[in-house]
Amino acid sequence: MRALAVFPERRELRLIEVPAPARRSEHEVTVRIREVGVCGTDREISGFHYGKPAPGSERLVLGHEALGQVVEVGSSVRTLAPGDLVALTVRRPCEVATCVACRAGRQDFCVSGEFTERGIQGADGFMTELVVDHERYLVRVPSALAEVGVLVEPLTVSAKAAVDLDGILRRYPWEPLGLRALVLGAGPIGLLSAMMLVARGVKTFVYSREAASGDRAELARSFGAEYVSAGDTPLSELPARVGSAEIIFEAVGTARVAFGAVRALAPNGVFILSGMPSAHAPIEIDLDYIMRDIVLKNQVLFGTVNASRGAFEAAVRQLEQFMGLFPNAVRRLITHRAKLDDAPELLRRPSGIKQVVQLAT
């Protein structure tokens, strides 16, 4: 069967033939991959800047945002049956006995750093025809979500953040009503996070580079967010433009924008970081001002990476909710579908919002 793989040592990205995987235990499930989303992480890997093959292998099969369909199940599998749609979780636990997070099944909180991630770190990904995995790593997706189920994995970023956000909001002895949120970035994570906030009844602003007349701006408005273009409102004017926000969700991946927007954070506000800045020259930021505000205003700043099985299950429920509230906006997040043959080209040329490789229907 075919797969898209990167050979970091040889600096090659190409389609290869690989043997079909076999189940090694009665708890494993064989999944036919239907669609795999492509994101910045895949582009970093295919540009040889990130990612690592499994030990002893010279190549890594790409793909970590996958929707598949169960083909066969081992005799002990209880939660899935042939025909079920599934989202495939990405991170696998480390083997370090003292890693309390992985031992508790929460490898998204792994403390040893020796976890693997399918399609990213030390384990092959899903941009291939068939995949075998333990049922505990597969999350059922209702068939009604078939056309947008590939968005479950990117949606887990905000689903996981929402759990931690709720934990922090619980510190207030009052019901936090009338909340305002500022989302930085209008990529897939930014727009999905904005949908999550709008669906929770939060007044939500999306701040991004694209003009206020652009497609992403129009999409943001279509599901009830307000769009603010960086072209019209420089960072320094953002607090005056949006007022103060109890929640800021960063999905832009640059420290200059993230910390430039921190002045818009309200007293007792929560700032969530999800982007990954690439290395470049140092920038000047007034950290004294930011630190003083964090202390005097009881602000919380936290980062979020990867996702647990629980976050995948929450993302499936959220996607169902979004499809009830604003189905066309959700569909419009997927701007391009390509065949596996065209996947290398797709990785070289980012365009639109979410690009998807279609392997089977």
- Interaction of residue 112 with Zn ion, rule CB under 5 A: yes
Selected from 62, 70, 77, 94, the binder of Zn ion by CB under 5 A is 94
- Interaction of residue 334 with Zn ion, rule CB under 5 A: no
- The interface mask with Zn ion, positions 2-31, x = CB under 5 A, is ------------------------------
Task: Give the integer Cα–Cα distance in Å for 82 and 91.
Answer: 24
Closest CA to 62 of 127, 122, 8: 127
Selected from 4, 66, 110, 248, the binder of Zn ion by CB under 5 A is 110
Q: How far is the CB of 335 from Zn ion (least distance, A)?
A: 15
Selected from 41, 128, 158, 306, the binder of Zn ion by CB under 5 A is 41
DSSP letters of 130-145?
Answer: EEEEEGGGEEEE-GGG
- Interaction of residue 248 with Zn ion, rule CB under 5 A: no
Q: Interacting stretch for Zn ion, rule CB under 5 A, among 106-114, 133-141, 202-210, 339-347?
A: 106-114
CA distances from 182 to 54, 128, 269 (A): 39, 37, 11
Q: Interacting stretch for Zn ion, rule CB under 5 A, among 9-17, 108-116, 214-222, 230-238?
A: 108-116
Residues 54-93 that bind Zn ion (CB under 5 A): 65
Strand ranges of the sheet holding 122-123, from the earlier edge strand across to the other edge:
91-92, 116-118, 122-123
Selected from 102, 191, 238, 330, the binder of Zn ion by CB under 5 A is 102
Angle among Cα 117, 119, 125 to the nearest 5 degrees reads 115
Angle among Cα 86, 92, 93 to the nearest 5 degrees reads 140
Would you tell me which residues interact with Zn ion (CB under 5 A)? 39, 41, 65, 94, 99, 102, 110, 112
